[in-house]
Amino acid sequence: MALSSLFVSLPLPIPRPPSTSKSSRFLPIRASPAAAATASPSFDLRRYWTSLISEVEGELDAAMPIRPPESIHNAMRHAVLPGAGKEGAAKRAPPVLCVAACELLGAPRAAALPTAAALEMLHAASLVHDDLPCFDAAPTRRGRPSTHAAYGTDMAVLAGDALFPLAYTHVISRTPSPDPVSHAVLLRVLAELARTVGSTGMAAGQFLDLAGASALGEAEVMQVLTKKFGEMAECSAACGAMLGGAGPDEEAALRRYGRTIGVLYELVDDMRSASGNGKMRSNASVLRSLGMDRALGIVEELKAQAKTEADRFGDKYGDRVLPLYSFVDYAVERGFELQDAATAKL
Amino acid sequence: NSALDAAVPAGEPPAALHDAMRYALLAGGKRVRPALCLAACVVSGGREAWAMAPAAAVEMVHTMSLVHDDLPCMDDDDLRRGKATCHVVYGEPIAVLAGDALLALAFEHMASVDSYPPDVDPAKHAARVVRSIGELARCIGSEGLVAGQVVDLEMTGSTETVPLDRLEYIHLHKTAALLEASVVIGAIIGGGSEEQIERLRKYARSIGLLFQVVDDILDVTKSSEELGKTAGKDLASDKTTYPKLLGLEKSREFAEKLLSDAKEQLADFDKEKAAPLLYLANYIAYRQN
């Protein structure tokens, strides 16, 4: 089947190829709220995601009280927390993935929540620096002025510099440790977080992106996507796995799952932006380098990979694997808008 | 220096990013912070090798703060330790990323089990490292190093003279906080008692302030060549300094007082093991650049 012709002839979201519900053990996952109601008692991703977002944002809010010097704390809050109304609502995919991986293994949500919030801080810190005039010079982010536009370039550099250590402080001070999370596990989580934002992870992705990998071939472009987005998602899943007490095989599978989901999510995002009028989030757009046909092929490959990894957990953990499947479908279909859900609580 | 050299991979992609990190990190320098960290570990009953990774980490954090501090949007310095600054050589975006990567590497290096020798106390080591990482993160964040830089930035734009307590706030955060982290982390990793850790914390605060007072004095009394950086810059930029607020003589007296405060904190430690810390305090007080 010519997927490309399907894609251009049908309205977004990208249509799901027929017969995806191959497993009879699981009800088909529907991401849209209307579908979820009819498919009850199927897993409701929207409710799961929404409740987690409010918990994570509660953590973030509490972690950054406004204290002297106020200017820097205001800038940090601006970078991490959504504004009033619809502006600035974030989907918080990394923390949701982290908590889902932890809960999959049967561990309490409280073990993963501080790390989930830390992932958002690290993510926000790198976005603040990525938006600086010497990089993307982005005047807005999530529909609001970017941090440097609102607080000045110097304050934006410092806000990023302060968010990185705050993430580690938060994990250390809020994770229930040494019980149920041992100090040794906590150290592995801290090392994982630091490695992911470091010179071989996200900073490498930003650097490669800066160097203009879009002019290069598929391997280079995929490398940017993997470094900039795949590794963050891998880190989220891996941290959730460690905090949930995963064995080595489970951790490895969740890593692969996370990395695949991260790239998948970004790739679909690029395709949606290219079809609409949104801004490319990555300079190394797969579409520009590879064309829509190849991009659609990669989407299908990634989807199959992610489902294969999730399948490993089905027998052992039953319904707790459902969030993992639902992320795959959500990444591709974007069946609902989380902005509404996230701001409904405000 | 060899621990730092080994910690940042050369030749691994992306090469230019790693080159920029190594350029900034291996540019020489006095390595006061790592030295303090190692000495504090030994004086608290540990072995120097236990604290080698944390010592490298504090130097990485220090370097990162210098790289970002030198950026055009901040202090806009072209020269550091007699060499062109990181953003002059590699460009602004890479300098921002190299700083971020050094900060991340510091924490990764500290948290990794592989960074420590096999003879650390297996029952206590992990808890000590967790606490040390928390201490480092707190000292360099929005209530530590960054707080000092923020208040400093806010003062730079103002024409008013900075009052003494404000100046002290800036230096306690901008300079002393990381020296405090270096010493306290060394003491924690070395297995020091709570009382020892707090004594060393006070020692570090005193020498941190001392460091800055001496810096201010040197800026008005030495030449650019002797300092390896632009001399008289404070005066030219109308920056508030101790000599300006107190006069040169009173600043020197203040430095003496801080030095004796620092030494007092060392009185109860083993004399032989405390000798390096005593030496470092004297070095900071009497250095010529």
Q: Name the helix (H) or strand (E) containing A46.
A: helix A45-63
Single out the residue of A253, A251, A258 nearest to residue A229, CA to CA.
A258
Is residue A266 in some structural domain? yes
Q: Output b/e per residue, A267-276; b: 16+ Cβ within 10 A.
A: bbbbbebbee
In angstroms, the CA A209 to CA A228 distance is 9
Burial degree of B31 (CB within 10 A; 0-12, 13-18, 19+): middle
Those of residues 189-208 in A touching chain B at CB distance below 8 A are 190-191, 193-195, 197-201, 203-204, 206-208
Domain boundaries, chain B: 1-286
- Contact between A30 and A39 under an 8 Å Cβ cutoff? The reply is yes
d(CA B58, CA B80): 19
User: What is the reported pLDDT for A338?
Assistant: 45
Q: Choosing among B63, B68, B130, which should be mutated to test the A contact, i.e. which has the most A CBs within 10 A? A: B130
Token readout for B38 is 């190692």
Question: Lowest mean pLDDT: which of A14-18, A198-202, B135-139, B253-257?
Answer: A14-18
Is the pLDDT at B142 greater than 90, yes or no?
yes
Contact assignment for B105 to A69 by CB distance below 8 Å: no
- The DSSP secondary-structure symbol of A15 reads P
Q: At what angle do helices A109-130 and A93-104 cross, to 10 degrees?
A: 160
Give CA–CA dist B107/A190, Å, rounded. 7
Alpha carbon B17 to chain centroid, angstroms: 23
- Selected residue of A126, A155, A168 to mutate for chain B interface (largest B Cβ count, 10 A): A168
For residue A183, the chain B residues in CB contact (below 8 A) are 126-127, 129-130
Per-residue DSSP letters for B10-29? SSSSSHHHHHHHHHHHTS--
Consecutive H or E run containing A185: helix A183-197
What is the structure's pLDDT at A136?
80
* Tokens describing residue B159: 């024409």
Q: For the ranges A129-138, A287-296, B237-246, which has the lowest average pLDDT?
A: A287-296
Higher pLDDT, A304 or B239: A304
Q: Do the Cβ atoms of A177 and B137 come within 8 Å?
A: no
With CA atoms as reference, report the closest residue to A235 among A225, A245, A227: A227
What is the average pLDDT value for chain B, to the nearest integer? 92
Whole-number Å distance between alpha carbons of B14 and B90: 13
* Lowest mean pLDDT, pick from A21-30, A225-234, B13-22, B139-148: A21-30
- A177 contacts in B (CB within 8 Å)? 130
| Mean pLDDT calculated for residue range A140-148 | 88
**What is the C-alpha separation between A100 and A216, in angstroms, rounded?**
36
> Half-sphere exposure of B1 toward its Cβ, with a 13 Å CA cutoff?
8
Q: How confident is the model at residue A17 (pLDDT cuts 50, 70, 90)?
A: very low
In a domain, A182, yes or no: yes
Residue B238 pLDDT more than 90? no
Rg (alpha carbons) of chain B, rounded to whole number: 19
In whole numbers, what is the pLDDT of chain A averaged over residues? 79
Judged by CB atoms within 8 Å, which residues 314-343 of A form the interface with B?
Answer: none
Nearest to A297 by CA among A209, A218, A232, A217: A218
Interchain CB contact of A69 with B (< 8 Å): yes
Verify whether the Cβ–Cβ distance B142 to A162 is below 8 Å.
yes
How does residue A5 score in pLDDT terms, banded at 50, 70 and 90?
A: very low
- Note the pLDDT of residue A280: 47
- Residues A91 and A31: beta-carbon distance below 8 Å: no
Whether the per-residue pLDDT at A202 is higher than 50: the answer is yes
Let me know: does A169 contact B138? Beta carbons within 8 Å.
yes
Range of the domain at A150: 45-333
Cβ within 8 Å, pair B108-A206: no
Please indicate whether, in this complex, the C-beta atoms of A169 and B96 are within 8 angstroms of each other: no
Of A81, A105, A107, the closest CA to residue A92 belongs to A81
Rg (CA), chain A: 19
**CB nearest to B111's CB, from A182, A191, A203:** A191
CATH code, domain with A74: 1.10.600.10
Q: How many CB atoms lie within 10 A of CB A42?
A: 18
pLDDT of the residue at A212? 66
Of chain A, the percentage scoring pLDDT greater than 90 comes to 43
Contact status, residue B44 vs residue B277, Cβ threshold 8 Å: no
Q: Angle at which helices B32-43 and B177-189 pack, to 10 degrees?
A: 30
Residue B177: how many CA atoms within 13 Å on its side-chain side? 25
Question: What gap in Å lies between CA A5 and CA B89, rounded to an integer?
Answer: 49
| Angstroms from B286 CA to nearest CA on chain A | 32
Question: What chain A residue is nearest to B137 in terms of C-alpha separation?
Answer: A165
Per-residue confidence (pLDDT) for residue A12, from 0 to 100: 35
| Mean pLDDT to the nearest integer, B152-171 | 85
Q: What is the pLDDT of residues A151-188, one digit of tens each?
A: 999 999 999 999 999 999 999 999 999 999 999 999 99
The mean pLDDT of A204-228, rounded to a whole number, is: 75
From residue B122, how far is each of A245, A310, B47, B164 by CA, in Å?
20, 36, 14, 47
The pLDDT value given to residue A166: 98
- Global pTM value: 0.88
- Cα dihedral A30, A31, A33, A34, rounded to 10, equals -40
Hey, is B83 helix, strand or coil? Answer: strand
Read off the pLDDT of each residue in A271-289 and give the average, rounded to a whole number.
Answer: 60
* Residue-level length of chain B: 289
A3 burial level (CB within 10 Å; 0-12, 13-18, 19+): middle
Look at A129 and B21 and tell me if their CB atoms are within 8 Å: no
Residue by residue, what is the 3-state secondary structure of B28-44? CCCCHHHHHHHHHHHHC
Asked whether residue B256 carries a pLDDT value surpassing 50, the answer given is yes
Q: Which whole number is the average pLDDT over A105-113?
A: 95
pLDDT value, residue B240: 84
Total domains present in chain A: 1
Q: Which residues pair with B94 in a beta bridge?
A: none
Q: Tell me, rounded to whole angstroms, the distance of Cα B272 from its chain centroid.
A: 25
Which residue reads 């890479």 in tokens? B94
User: Touching check for A186 and chain B: CB below 8 Å?
Assistant: yes
Interior angle at CA B154, CA B152 and CA B156, nearest 5 = 70
Which of B108, B128, B174 is the best mutation test for A, with the most CBs of A within 10 A? B108
Beta-bridged to residue B84, according to DSSP, are B79
CB–CB of B65 and A173 under 8 A?
no
Question: Min CA distance, B20 vs chain A (Å)?
Answer: 11
Residue located via tokens 């303090």: B36
Question: Which H or E element spans position A146?
Answer: none
Q: Let me know: does B287 contact B214? Beta carbons within 8 Å.
A: yes
Q: Which residues of A touch B12 (CB under 8 A)?
A: 200
CA-based nearest distance B174→chain A, Å:
12
Res A87 pLDDT > 60? no
Instruction: Give the model's pLDDT for residue A38.
Output: 32
Tokens read off for A167:
């993430």
| Cβ-contact B33, B211 below 8 angstroms | no
C-beta atoms surrounding A90 within 10 Å:
22
CA distance A29 to chain B (A): 38
Residue A201 lies in a domain: yes
Q: Can you give the pLDDT at residue B229?
A: 66
Q: Say if the Cβ atoms of A135 and B73 lie within 8 Å.
A: no
Taking CA–CA distances from A224, the nearest residue in chain B reads B14
Asked if pLDDT for residue A277 goes beyond 80, the answer is no
Query: Using the beta-carbon criterion (under 8 Å), do A161 and B143 form an inter-chain contact?
Result: no
Contact A138/B at CB under 8 A? no
Residues of chain A in contact with residue B126, where contact means CB-CB under 8 angstroms, are 182-184, 186-187
Contact A196, A135 (CB under 8 A): no
Best CA proximity match to B218, nearest among B149, B286, B283, B148 = B286
Say if residue A89's pLDDT is above 70: no
Structure tokens at A18: 């027929």
Distance CA A44, CA A34 (A): 10
**CA distance to partner chain B, nearest, from residue A61 (Å):** 15
Residue B204 pLDDT class (50, 70, 90 cuts): very high
pLDDT at A9 over 60: no
Q: Which of A69, A135, A208 shows the shortest C-beta gap to B150?
A: A69
Q: Which of A132, A177, A204 sits opposite B17 (nearest CB)?
A: A204
pLDDT at A342 over 50: no
Residue range B274-289: mean pLDDT, rounded: 93
- Contact check, Cβ <8 Å, A197/B99: no
Q: Provide the pLDDT confidence category of residue B235 given band limits of 50, 70 and 90.
A: low
Chain A nearest-CA distance from B18, in A, is 7
CA distance A211 to chain B (A): 10
Helix (H) or strand (E) holding A144: strand A144-145
Residue of A nearest to B148 (CA): A69
Q: Which helix (H) or strand (E) holds A75?
A: helix A70-80
- The pLDDT value recorded for residue B185 is 98
User: Considering CB atoms only, which of A162, A172, A206 is closest to B141?
Assistant: A162
B234 pLDDT higher than 90: no
In terms of pLDDT, which residue wins out, B79 or B43?
B43
Residues of A in contact with B147 (CB under 8 A): 68-69, 72
**Residues on chain B touching A194 (C-beta within 8 angstroms):** 104-108, 111
Tell me the nearest-neighbour CA distance from A116 into chain B, angstroms. 17
Q: How far apart are CA A59 and CA A114, in angstroms?
A: 7
Instruction: Name every chain B residue with its beta carbon within 8 A of the beta carbon of A132.
Output: 93, 96
Q: What is the pLDDT of residue A43?
A: 72
* Weakest mean pLDDT among A213-227, B88-102, B169-183: A213-227
Tell me: domain B1-286, CATH 1.10.600.10, correct? yes
Cα–Cα distance measured from residue A100 to residue A257, given in angstroms and rounded to the nearest whole number: 12
- Non-local (6+) Cβ contacts of A183 within 8 A are A177, B126, B127, B129, B130
Per the structure block, which two tokens stand in for A96? 């949701």
